Amino acid sequence: MSQNSKVRSRLIVSLDGYAAGPRQSRENPFGEGGMRLPQWQLESGRPGREGDARVLADSVENVGAYVMGRNMFGPVRGAWETYSEGEWRGWWGEEPPYHAPVFVLTHHPRESLTMSGGTTFHFVTEGVEAAVQQAREAAGDRDVVVAGGAHTVRSALAARLIDEITLHVVPLVLGEGERLLEGLDGLALEPLDTVSSPTVTHLRYGVPKV
């Protein structure tokens, strides 16, 4: 990974700091009430949402690899072979939107999974630092994105593995669920940019290494 490359993250959060509602499941991937969080992405092509479209375009520019937690990859728990409904291959169908290597954190080993469109899921059992390191090696001179979910991003922030983070703040109060910044007391971020639209505010921060 070159000196100009970055480890970035972006996550959609509610006004009270939750990245997902409670009781996430296959039927409710964002938890109960949480499907309103990503709604702005579906509306980014509408008039007046040019800022949203630009933020989305920037989020995939120069990305060479991704890191995600197992909860983001799917609702499967425990050993992979115990999943009774067949082999889980992610939420996104046979051609996921990543088009790059994706390193998935898990406690249970699994062979790499090659999908259409250039995405290969690699399953990492050694923790978030190992996953980010492997992603950096795969990305070369391009950026790494820690895609989520909240636990994975929180762990990477705590370990100071992330250089920049963008929070897409939706004016919705969930009241419960998975809070992104729980336990990161004392973390001070550097404001870099703000983009507002009628349904979401995009806040980009630098993450100091100390």
* Residue 153 domain flag: yes
| pLDDT tens profile 44-96 | 888 889 999 999 999 999 999 999 999 899 887 788 775 544 578 888 999 99
* Residue 21 domain flag: yes
3-class secondary-structure state, position 36: helix
What's the CA dihedral at 12, 188, 157, 100 to 10 degrees? 60
* Residue 1 domain flag: no
Which residues of the chain fall short of a pLDDT of 70? 1-3, 82-86
Per-residue confidence (pLDDT) for residue 80, from 0 to 100:
78
- What is the domain count for the chain? 1
Distance CA 183, CA 170 (A): 22
Per-residue confidence (pLDDT) for residue 48, from 0 to 100:
87
CATH number at residue 103: 3.40.430.10
Place of tokens 């996921």: 96
Long-range contacts: 25-32, Cβ < 8 Å, 24+?
25/75, 26/74, 26/75, 29/75, 29/91, 31/174, 31/177, 31/178
Which range marks the domain in which residue 15 is found?
7-81+89-206
* Residue 159 domain flag: yes
Per-residue confidence (pLDDT) for residue 164, from 0 to 100:
97
Among 94, 96, 121, 97, CA closest to 110:
121
Per-residue confidence (pLDDT) for residue 1, from 0 to 100:
54
* Residue 2 domain flag: no
Q: Residue 78's Cα: distance from chain center in Å?
A: 21
* Residue 181 domain flag: yes
* Residue 137 domain flag: yes
* Residue 129 domain flag: yes
